[in-house]
Structure formats: C-alpha cells, structure tokens
Structure 1
Amino acid sequence: MTVNEATRVSTATWLDSALGSGVRVFDLGRPLYRGMPQSPNHPPYWHTLPRRHGDMVRADGGSAAADHISLGTHVGTHIDAFSHVSHNGLMLGGVSAADAQRGGTMSSLGAETIKPMFHRGVLLDVPRALGLEECEPGYEITPDDLSRTAESQGVEVRQGDVVLIRSGWGKNFDKGNEVYTGHDSGVPGVGEAGAYWLAGHGVHAAGADTIAFERLAPGAGHSLLPAHRVLLVETGIHIIETMDLEELASAGAHQFLFVLSPLKLVGATGSPVRPLAVVPEVTP
C-alpha cells in the first residue's frame, strides 16, 4: 500500500468515525443585507443586480442574472486582521503602520495572512452563568465573570482554543442599527482586563455577539478600544465580531469544532466570514 493509499484509508476511517453518528452544524454568521446594523466607521453593505434575467436571452431561451456587492471588510460577521489596529504607530511585532499602508493597501499583516481555522471552540455564555437573560448595556465582562462562566459550564479554556463570548446583546441585531450599535446605551463586552485573561490562556482567536467585540461605554462609541490593542497589537489574537451565538447557546453547546476560513483579500484589514460550530448529534 502506498502512502497516498494509506492516507485515503485512514482519512475515510476517521470520517466514518467522526460522522457515523451525525453532527449538528451551527451557523454563527449574520445575513448580509442592505440596511443591516453596522459600525458607522465602515462603508455599508450594498447589493444590486446590474444584469437581470431578460437583459440578454440566449437562442435557446436561457437567461442569467448577476450581482454586484460592495461593503467594508468590517461589516457583518467578520474577522480582524492584525493590520486593523496600531498603537503609537506600530502594529503587531513592531511593524510600522505608516510604512505598511503606503500605496493604499497593507503590505504586512493583511487578511490574506489569516490562516483558516479548524480549532477547538469554547462558548462562554456569560449572562447565563450570572443568572441573567443578557448583560446590561455598557457592562464590562470581567476576568472573574469569564472564570466563573467556564467553571459553571464545566469547561476549561486551553491554549489554541477559539473562545466565543456571549453577552446576550446579539438578540438586538434584528432591532436595527441604533439599538445594536448602542452608541447612547453602551454595549457589554470584555475590557482590557478580560482581553489579558484571554491572552493569558493562550487562545488562538476570540469572538463575540457584539458590534466591536469589547465593552463600549455609554455615549462613547468606539472612542477607546483597549481590548483591540491587547489582542491585535500586543498578543497576536484575532478578533471575530457580530456573531450569532443564540442558537448555539440555546443548545447548551459549550465545546465544539470551530471552523472559519477568511477570504484571501490581499492587503485588507479584515474579511467577511461565515464561522461554523460543529458538534456531535446527540441521539436519545
């Protein structure tokens, strides 16, 4: 048996074992549509049909429609590249932001450098652990909250995990831009201390159900984002924002296979994504 043949056999065996009892896939991405909630800092999502059925009809009666879309790379469910944030002029690893952005695109740390993710995922359902429906507007999720949540769920956050933090704020996505972005009310999330807690556990990436991942103070908007600095600039941990975590939380799925593949947008500071959580199907 050749190496390739052995690989095919072992892969088939692994797939049979992994999928034999079935799996359930949770879609953690938000739908993209015109007028969807988004940060005011980024170009909005736009979709149109420049070519419609009937504009050109083939001899056999066939026709086709085609689309044009445009959007900021930080609109909808998306991942931040390390080129997204700098501090005192420097990005991750001491890369000069001014040098990297010359020419109108990022020559370092762009979205094309983000590797596809196939990691153990952990959902920390913070409000449920605190006995709440959702965290209060502007509430800062503390390291103690994160530790308490992990303990109450019976999970351990390990090095290389992708940790998703549910604040419950995701329920507001369908209420429109003003409510979800929470400029006046504030938005719950981790702060600087929570970001260091995640970094201290050696996580590969972190995500949340909010517009900017971290806590936004009432009336402050995105004026200060210390968790972004800690994760993207200081410790090299990707951030995933605007996730839909409600179905996953309702199912009580706190550990899963996390799958994410960003678009290879060369020189971009982020990428739209459609992350998935895969768990074994539970049979009675």
Structure 2
Amino acid sequence: MDPRAFEALFARVSNWGRWGADDQRGTLNLLDDETRRTATASVRSGVTVSLSHELDTHSGPDNGRPALHYMTQQADVGDGEPRVNTDFVGVDFHGKSVTHVDALCHCSFRGQLYNGIGSADTVDSRGGRFGTVDQLRDGVVGRGVLVDLPRAAGVGWLEPGSAAGPEDLVAALEAQGTERRPGDIVLVRTGHRRRRTEVGPWDPSDLSAGLAPESMEWLHTTGAAVLGGDGDSDCRPSPVESVDSPIHALALTAMGLPLIDNVNLEDLADACSAVGRWEFLFVMAPLRIPGGTGSPVNPLAIL
C-alpha cells in the first residue's frame, strides 16, 4: 500500500471528533453500562482463563529488555516474628514479550495523537497529559470474541509475514459460528506463541504475522471497542511504504482503539474449541500509572 492510499484509509476510519473534540477514551465509549451488562450473558460455565504470559526475566531475540525480579527481603534473615519475604519487580513492558495494553498516547502519526492532539504538546519526559492509561482506570469489561485464524485455515499458525485481511477475519468467524457485535473486544489469534513454542523464538520486529491495514476498516464499521493480538497486531515487514506500524497508527491514532499486545491466546483457543463457543466475558484492568503510555495487564476470559 502506498502512503497516499494509507492516508485515505486513515481518514476513513478516523474517529476524531466523533465523541467530542476533548475526548480521550476513543472506542472505549462503545462500552457503556448496557453493553457491559449484556456481556455477562456470555458467561455459562464460569471457567476463567488468564490471557497473560509470565514476565520473562531471560533475554532473547524477542525479549531484548527482560523483566527484573529479585528478592529484597527474606524471612530466614532477621529477628522478630512474623518475618516476611518481599521482592522487587521492574518491567519495560512495551515490546514483544510482556502482555500489555497501549494507551492512546502511545502512538503518534504525523506528529498527532488521537483526536488531532499534538504529541509534542502533551507528552514529555514526565509522561502524558492526554489519552493516558488512566483513561482505562475503571477497567475494560465487555463481550470478548476470539477470532482463531489458524483454526479456520487448518494450520498450526500463520507464517510470519502473513497479513490477514477482512475476508480472513469474516471467514474465521463464520467457521466458528460467531457473530460480531458493536462494542466487542476482538482478540485475533495468529498462532504466534504456538510457533514460538514449537520452532523457537525469533525477532518479530523483523518478521511477524498480523493484520492487513484493510482489516481496520472492517473493525471500524463493525464497532470494535478494543483489539488484542498474540503479537502486536502489526504484520512485518510492513505492507505500507514508509509506515513501520500501520495497525498501531490506524488503531491508536485514527480510531482511538486501544491495543492489547502479546496476549496469551493458546489456552483460550483450546478452551473455546472444547466448548464450541468463541465468545466470553472479557475483564481487564491496568495499573494506575500517572502519565502512563500503557500498562502490563493480566486479562481474563470468563466462559
């Protein structure tokens, strides 16, 4: 896709001004009280599935900035009772390893954030003052839908470099018998983690399966509230000339659509396949990080 076609697509999916010139929530506005209440009908068995990976403290080709974890106090040292064990955890969560949510201030395009707000005017060394992760402080609760692309294609995973178009998403939903509704939290499985487990880690910054830019127009017209992927939703190499992460630009900047990256979808895919149902109650809350551009998360699917 050439830059001119991409900018036309950006304009078509833009939600700038849709919920007001000062809006910082974007498509989270689609998750109102009634949508959340209706989503509880997706719970049937009550089985819960974690959608997060463990924090990886080991360096690798897809984890150049591993998490830190060490003990700061141990109960076998010291006087008095009771004694305690305490630890420190530090994480540079943006990247290809940690399950995290991107706030709308995470990504700018042509110097602008969502709703046309200047990035340089609202984000500095102290953090952001617009579209920060604090906009998600009350949690993300709604109807979750898993789109299992490898299952529909009859393969273990999509090969790195593959770009799934809207027709692929629709075909997967039809194969599952799943209906899309406005306000859905859409989780797209490419089989990234299964490939990593069976083949070994690689650097997805250079080569990864993801969504074609045209898929974002389908997500826009069908009213997705949040998008998550088992990678970072971007296909690499980028299919758009001079735009490294077109899905991030279209989602976060044009649509105001929060992204959840590196979601663990393998256990969920197995659980959904076992019951023949790919919809569930989705629950997620970020850490309260003042000015934060995102947060590590442990989303839950409740079947």
Q: Report if TM-score (shorter chain) is over 0.5.
A: yes
1:98 aligns with 2:120: yes
SS in 2 for 1:67: strand
Q: Answer yes or no: is 1:143 the counterpart of 2:143.
A: no
Matches within 5 A, 1:248-259: 248-251=268-271, 252=273, 253-259=277-283
Work out whether residues 38 and 44 of structure 1, in 8 Å CA contact, stay in contact via their aligned partners in 2. no
Cα pair 2:181 2:223 within 8 Å, conserved: yes
Q: Which runs of 4+ in 1 moved over 4 A?
A: 17-22, 36-40, 173-176
After the TM superposition, which residues 26-37 of structure 1 pair with which residues of structure 2 at under 5 Å, given as runs? 26-35=49-58
Residue 234 (str. 1) matches residue 257 (str. 2): no
What CA RMSD, in Å, does the superposition of the two structures yield over aligned residues?
Answer: 2.8
Residues 1:267 and 1:122: Cα distance change in structure 2 (over 3 Å): same
The size of the alignment, in residue pairs, is 256
Give, in whole Å, the separation in 1 of the partners of 2:198 and 2:287.
Answer: 29
Partner of residue 207, structure 1 = 228
Q: Tell me the amino acid that sits aligned with residue 272 of structure 1.
A: P
Q: Secondary structure of the equivalent of 2:220?
A: helix
**Alignment match, 1:4:** none
Q: Deviations over 1:45-88 (max 9, x none)?
A: 11111222233221x4x321211111113251110000000011
Q: Does the C-alpha gap of structure 1 residues 99 and 127 become closer, same or farther in structure 2, counting only changes over 3 Å?
A: same
Task: Choose between structure 1 and 2 for higher RCO, CA contacts under 8 A separated by at least 6 residues.
Answer: 2
* TM-score w.r.t. length of structure 2: 0.77
Q: Which runs of 5+ in 2 are unaligned?
A: 1-36
Q: Is the 8 A contact 1:261 1:275 kept in 2?
A: yes
Distance 1:182 1:88 in 2: 25
1:209-224 maps to which residues of 2 (within 5 A)? 209-210=230-231, 212-217=232-237, 224=244
Indicate the residue corresponding to 1:79 in structure 2: 101
Aligned partners of 1:171 and 1:246 also within 8 Å = yes
Distance 1:140-1:101 versus aligned 2 partners, 3 A rule:
same
Change (3 A) 1:24 1:36: farther
Aligned partners of 1:271, 1:56: CA distance in 2, in Å?
35
* CA gap 1:21/1:227 in 2 versus in 1, 3 angstroms: closer
Deviates more, 1:94-103 or 1:200-209: 94-103
Deviation at 1:22, TM superposition (A): 4.4
Instruction: Provide TM-score, normalisation by structure 1.
Output: 0.82
1:263 maps to 2:258: no
- Pair 1:37–1:208, CA change in 2 (3 A): farther
Report sequence identity in percent: 29
Tell me what 1:47 maps to: 69
After TM superposition, give the deviation of residue 155 of structure 1 in Å: 1.2
1:64 corresponds in structure 2 to 84
Structure 1 letter corresponding to 2:211: V
Distance verdict in 2 for CA 1:19–1:187, change over 3 Å? closer
Q: Is the 8 A contact 1:260 1:273 kept in 2?
A: yes
Partners of 2:43 and 2:205 in 1: CA distance: 47
1:133 to 156, 166, 182: 156
CA distance in 1, matches of 2:203, 2:255: 26
CA-CA distance at 1:111 after TM superposition: 0.9
1-side partners of 2:226 and 2:204: how far apart? 24
Contact 2:48 2:302 in 1 (8 A): yes
Gap runs ≥5 in structure 1: 1-13, 280-284
Q: Which position in structure 1 is the counterpart of 2:267? A: 247
2:279 partner letter: Q
Deviation at 1:206, TM superposition (A): 0.7
Alpha-carbon spacing, 1:268–1:43, altered in 2? closer, same or farther (3 Å)? farther
Match of 2:297 in 1: 273
